[in-house]
Amino acid sequence: MPKPTIDAAPAADRPNVMTGARKQISYIGGYIDPGFDRTIEACADLSLVRIDKSQPFDVLHNTLAASHAIQIDSARLDIPEHLRISRAFLAQCPQILVVSASGAGYDAIDVAACTEAGVVAVNQTGGNREAVGEHTLAMMLSLTKRIGETDKALRAGGVVDRIAYMGDDLYGKTVGIVGFGNTGTRVAELCRGLFAMTVLAYDPYVGENAMTARGARKVELDALLQAADFASLHCPLTDETTGMIGRREYALMKKGAFFVTAARGGIHDEMALYEALKSGHLAGAGVDVWEQEPPPADHPLLSLANVIASPHTAGVTHAARRRLALMAAEQLIDILRGGRPQRMLNPEVLPRFQERFAKALGHA
């Protein structure tokens, strides 16, 4: 099957950007979508280099050191440690001006190190909100309707007792959303609009008025866990969120509640989740992200019939990949031609970045 592509406007048709000397973009990781390459390669003032991530850093150094921009896969586990954006990496590549994550997640990028180096870090937040939102809802439906369990029972053969697999409805239940950005907001829209669910949200960086406008009630994390029939994670992996959901937090959840995550592995404690499910305290879990990806076949969570598992594929759809590719390419083009970054992770770096940009490329 041919790979989907993006019909991008020619670079000459994009307004309000500045052209100048040829700038190099190095891409570390796999393809988002071929449209990223085609969009960049249509620009005469830009060059694109694909980095072979299997090679050691010293072999790649000259190419990376010549780069003005780095495009990198979002998931840390997809990138070997020596090519993750760190202080050591940036120290050896002083010409880099911008680092761009391919999706909303940015755990392959040390944002603080970028700020220290005067490098602007950006992501593509919102580009896969529909894909991840729909996947989250699919896991919630599969869990409450027990679709995974009944599918396995039928495939095993024999008589299936329908009453033994009685599920429930989503309608009117309470969903608690941890992380209320683009994807969390979309999950709230789906749950509220389709199933009249009560939406609670926890996000210390989103104000009460903004949450109310998006149809959610702002609460603290403990209150959310205690009240939710479904707790769903949609926050980035940071120092602040690592290990945020553990044995204590699962114990706070209502008996018979469901846990769902399409955020990042490392935010939730996998073994504590297994224990909460095995004991019967939680009714089920939908897990798309893992501490080790893919998880080993003998992972305890994969032994449980009431776990819906997927290998970090929530955001991997044709439509999402096309959208992310165009967003990433257009943002890099604008930045490297003097435009203001649209989706900055470290806005405080902007004055120093602009100074470095003018010095490196001869214009502000």
CA distance between the termini of the chain: 44
User: Distance of alpha carbon 325 from its chain centroid, rounded?
Assistant: 14
Please list the active-site residues: 264, 293, 312
Cα gap 40→20, rounded to integer Å: 15
In this structure, what DSSP letter does residue 301 have? G
Residues 6+ apart with CB under 8 A from 159: none
Task: Report the interhelical angle of 318-336 vs 34-41 (nearest 10°).
Answer: 30
Q: Is 346 exposed, middle or buried (0-12, 13-18, 19+ CB in 10 A)?
A: buried
User: Distance of alpha carbon 203 from its chain centroid, rounded?
Assistant: 16
Three-state secondary structure call for residue 201: strand
Q: Is 149 exposed, middle or buried (0-12, 13-18, 19+ CB in 10 A)?
A: buried
